[in-house]
Amino acid sequence: MNRAEILVIDDEVQIRKLLQITLQSNDYAVKEAATAKEGTIMAANHPPDLIVLDLGLPDENGHEVLKKLREWYTNPVIILSVQNSEEDIIKALDNGANDYLVKPFRTGELLARIRSSLRSTNGEESIPVIKCRDLIIDLSARTVKKNSEFVKLTSTEYNLLSLLARNEGKVLTHHYLLREIWGPGFINQSQYLRVFTAQLRKKLENDPNRPEYIVTEAGVGYRFVARE
């Protein structure tokens, strides 16, 4: 049994009921809150393993709730919202959300995103080697193998791959990647990111035009997918 505890903060009764049934049937423990105030108090009193947060709460904007949570809460937060603009998605991810799903959503996809977020959190410090199909990334040795053969990467290529892989399953925005790899002065230089992502795909993907590892989230950023 998973028994990870998930806190759902959403003012829609039907959504909370659906999530309760879905999550409990997959062996998660579920707590619910209908307002931002109720949710933040519950999270502070007993921090859950993951929070599913709606942006359209009746008493406070969900973006503000997320920023307040990220002042102290370090476990995954998945946004579940009807707000589907690129601006809202990028803002939430830049403010610390691990993932973003738009309502209406597929429960299977939500469960997959939850598993990925929990897996990434639980394994971040204890697994310096990431194995994914024919790819092995050794974070401590700074080496990459594909089909048991070493892949020669430049320092920038490796840093980009390492950052994506250490956040496996999480969408990293263009601005975040540019800031972390090249520095704050390069957050608008998206061509850097396109070039180096293309180079990585040529070296790592079986078909660079249909990537399996470094997946594009259109208009937002990239996600590293370690498992099929």
Domain at 58, CATH number:
3.40.50.2300
* Residue that is last in its domain, among 77, 93, 123: 123
On whether both 109 and 152 belong to a single domain, the answer is no
Look at residue 21 and give its three-state secondary structure: helix
Rounded CA gap, 80 and 19, in Å? Answer: 11
Mean pLDDT score of the chain, rounded to an integer?
Answer: 89
Q: Is 139 exposed, middle or buried (0-12, 13-18, 19+ CB in 10 A)?
A: middle
Q: What is the pLDDT of residue 142?
A: 85
Q: Are residues 119 and 11 in the same domain?
A: yes
What per-residue confidence (pLDDT) applies to 187?
80
Tell me the average pLDDT across 110-128. 73
Give yes or no: residues 113 and 133 share one domain.
no
127 pLDDT exceeds 80? no
DSSP summary character for residue 56? B
Q: For residue 27, what are the domain limits?
A: 5-123
In this prediction, residue 1 carries a pLDDT of 43
Query: Do 20 and 72 share a structural domain?
Result: yes
Same domain, 146 and 206: yes
CB half-sphere exposure, 125, CA atoms < 13 A:
1
Place of tokens 């697994």: 127
pLDDT of 147 above 60: yes
Residues 113 and 61 in one domain: yes
What is the per-residue pLDDT for 139?
Answer: 82
Q: How many residues does the chain have?
A: 228
Q: Which of 97, 123, 149 is the last residue of a domain?
A: 123
Please give the Cα distance from 183 to 81 (Å, whole number). Answer: 31
Question: What's the pLDDT band for 197 if we cut at 50, 70, 90?
Answer: very high
Look at the pTM and tell me if it is higher than 0.75. Answer: no
Give yes or no: residues 199 and 104 share one domain: no
Mean pLDDT of 94-101: 90
Q: What is the pLDDT of residues 157-181, one digit of tens each?
A: 999 999 998 888 888 999 889 988 8
